[in-house]
Amino acid sequence: MRKLIVFNSVSLDGYFTDRQGDMSWAHKQDKEWNDFVAGNASGEGELVFGRVTYEMMASYWPTSQARKDAPAVAGKMNDAPKIVFSRKMKKAAWKNTRLIGGDIAAETRKLKAERGPLMVLMGSGTIVSQLTRARLIDEYQLVVNPIVLGDGKTLFEGAEEKMGLKLVKTRAFGNGNVLLCYEPVK
């Protein structure tokens, strides 16, 4: 069975986007952080997005600016297999992307049952929330950023019940970011 991992940045007050939906506050430009991001991007995996995050990623990573800013990450993002969940999109133009509509939890169960690499869900708070409620996420990799946004959108909007998590890994960065990796308590 394939694993599904969430990788997201959150503010110290628990938001993954600010009130306007912006996530640029999570992007840092320092060597230690950039080396981590490039190393993380070099791993195997199928990227998973909701429509909004997909459109944001697809508008940046295939550009010459992305190849200039982060060549290793841009290459991996563009070449990696990708899934976008959307009922509204009719076509996904970014290289190596398959479009999946329908019930997100049911489709994710099918994907997890297939042979293949692990799946990494990035951004896509609505999808994270739905798949958390369905207990389909195997690991949460959250990067806590040293910023308070005051308002925004949480990853777990609409959570209906408590879910215990077990801390499995941490890493602190010189820029103040802290990576926290959790697995659901079974």
pLDDT at 28 over 90: no
Q: What percent of the chain has pLDDT over 90?
A: 72
Angle at CA of residue 73, ends 8 and 30, nearest 5°:
75
pLDDT at 173: 95
Query: pTM of the prediction?
Result: 0.91
Domain boundaries, the chain: 4-184
Asked if residue 102 has pLDDT above 70, the reply is: yes
Question: Which two tokens mark 183?
Answer: 């697995």
Strand partners, 18: 152
Return d(Cα 34, Cα 40) in angstroms, integer. Answer: 10
Q: Which CATH architecture has domain 4-184?
A: 3-Layer(aba) Sandwich (3.40)
pLDDT tens-place string over residues 117-131: 999 999 888 899 999
- Under the banding of pLDDT at 50, 70 and 90, the label for residue 41 is low
Residue 93 has pLDDT above 70, yes or no: yes
- What average pLDDT score do residues 64-84 get? 91
**pLDDT given for residue 39 in this prediction:** 77
Q: Pull the structure tokens for residue 52.
A: 């909004």
pLDDT digits (tens, 9 = 90+) for 148-160: 999 999 988 887 8
